[in-house]
Amino acid sequence: MSARIAWPLYAALASGLALIGLGHWLWAISLRGPVLYGEGAVVHAALLARTGSEYLAGARYGAEAPIFTAANYPPLYFHLAGLGDPFVTGRVLSVAATLFVAGAIAWRARAAGPLAAATIAIAWLGSVPVLQWGPAVKPDLLALALTVGAVLAFERTRPMYLVAGALLGLAALSKPTALLPAMAMWIFVSRTNGRGAAASVASAVATSVVVALASGSASADAWMHVVEWNALPWRADLAAPVVLIALIVLLVPIVTMLVTRPSVTIVTAYAAGAVGILLLGGREGATINYFLDLSAALALGIGGRAPQLRAGGVYPVAGVVQAIVAVVILNPFGIVPGVAQSTGRWGDPARIQIVRELPGTLLVEDGGLLVANGREPLVDDLFLWSRDLAARRFPGGPLLAAVREGRFDAVISEVDLEHLDSGPAYEQQRWSAALVAAVLDRYQLDAQRAPLFIYTRRAVR
């Protein structure tokens, strides 16, 4: 197929997917509630961050002190999202960061002309995992945008080392995994300009220290939440499916980068660090967000090769095939009828109303459903609580005792706890065996209002 036909075809398909994504993003902003698991814990921490108490044990904004607050990210995103309703402000921040990265991709591809540059950028917007994670109330996209900003600062004819360092420092204060691309880029820069690399590192450290002190998060409590509680074990069998999905989604840009004229730039260093992030996906709870950085790095690399690719029809045709395969296999947002969505599924918005109608004190698998209704969760991240309990990082007594004593008026799960062993692996990770035993001993299944299971107290005999 000729380039004259192939590029407009690729642009049309990419635009269609991107528009589907943008429509869902706008809907998610208007929802004022969680769509991805774990957003509730971030929103809870963002609300606590308004008083600088996101890492303090027992800190609260509601009537009862929480039993467990995850707050397992550095402070920057919490404080930014907490400037307004975090479900809105946090999403808008993530969407803005996502659009910035797309703009950076188009900018790097500008030498190929507007059609090719726009197509490459829009194709990234319409790809997995960007479609599902673009509006996430999580720090991933903020860290991604700051890292890409640093790439652009390094790549200038006259590199802005201090600016790049400051951006990388802020990226690490959004999500610690951003340190991997940062280190890869500093090593790359040091090969030709040791002074510039040192200045960038110093700028990153200074920026991080200033922001940490200004946010009041330079404490042992913050270290415990962000580092100790987050240190989940790595397993090859968990990393393999994440890597496999990444290869399915990113095969065309990977092969294109390998077979076209080789070059070593700051983007190459970024890609190397991004591979490191992908390999970290062997942790429990890791999902497709672990290759966001790699997808951005590859798109930036394709942008640099865009003038070389523009003249032929091979790349856009391959891009079309890649997009179709990804949509059929992964089915983002369930847009392919009759095909199960394999990863990145958004939660059913009906959950918010179901929880709103339940009175009293609730233990809810997705704490964001409580936060969305103006109620403070006593446990905002059951997954992290269960994983850290399994690792014996803290005693589980307070929550287990509260369940055994019937302190909760109801327990809300998204799986039948009596048959948890046959449920999805991610559900088994969220519910520790000790907690399930305590729930089933004191509570009984009262109702199932899809997709939620509602357990209420057993009669005391």
Helices H / strands E in the chain, number of each: 21, 4
Per-residue pLDDT, averaged over 64-80, amounts to 94
Residue 276 has pLDDT above 80, yes or no: yes
What per-residue confidence (pLDDT) applies to 79?
A: 97
Task: Tell how far CA 437 is from the center of its chain.
Answer: 31
**By the 8 A CB rule, do 95 and 134 touch?**
yes
* C-alpha span between 304 and 309 (Å, rounded): 10
* C-alpha span between 296 and 298 (Å, rounded): 5
Torsion, CA 28, CA 428, CA 293, CA 149, rounded to 10: 60
CB atoms under 10 Å from CB of 247, counted, come to 12
**By the 8 A CB rule, do 44 and 375 touch?**
no
pTM listed for this prediction: 0.96
Cβ-count burial of 100 within 10 angstroms (0-12 exposed, 13-18 middle, 19+ buried)? middle
Per-residue pLDDT, averaged over 85-93, amounts to 98
Q: How confident is the model at residue 120 (pLDDT cuts 50, 70, 90)?
A: very high
Sort strands 452-457 and 410-413 into parallel, antiparallel or unpaired: antiparallel
**By the 8 A CB rule, do 172 and 277 touch?**
no
pLDDT digits (tens, 9 = 90+) for 394-405: 778 899 999 999
Looking only at Cα atoms, what is the longest distance across the chain? Answer: 79
For the chain, the domains span: 3-31+72-334, 350-457
Q: 153: helix, coil or strand? A: helix
pLDDT digits (tens, 9 = 90+) for 223-271: 999 999 988 889 999 999 999 999 999 999 999 998 887 778 999 999 9
Which helix (H) or strand (E) segment holds residue 96: the answer is helix 86-108
Partners of residue 412 on adjacent β-strands: 364, 454
* C-alpha span between 211 and 229 (Å, rounded): 22
- Where are the alpha helices (H) located in 156-235, listed in sequence order? 161-172, 179-190, 194-214, 220-223
Q: 154: helix, coil or strand? A: helix
pLDDT digits (tens, 9 = 90+) for 30-50: 999 999 999 999 999 999 999
Sort strands 452-457 and 362-364 into parallel, antiparallel or unpaired: unpaired
Question: What single-letter amino acid sits at 280?
Answer: L
CB atoms under 10 Å from CB of 58, counted, come to 10
* C-alpha span between 249 and 327 (Å, rounded): 9
- For tokens 């450290």, the residue is 205
Question: What single-letter amino acid sits at 262?
Answer: P
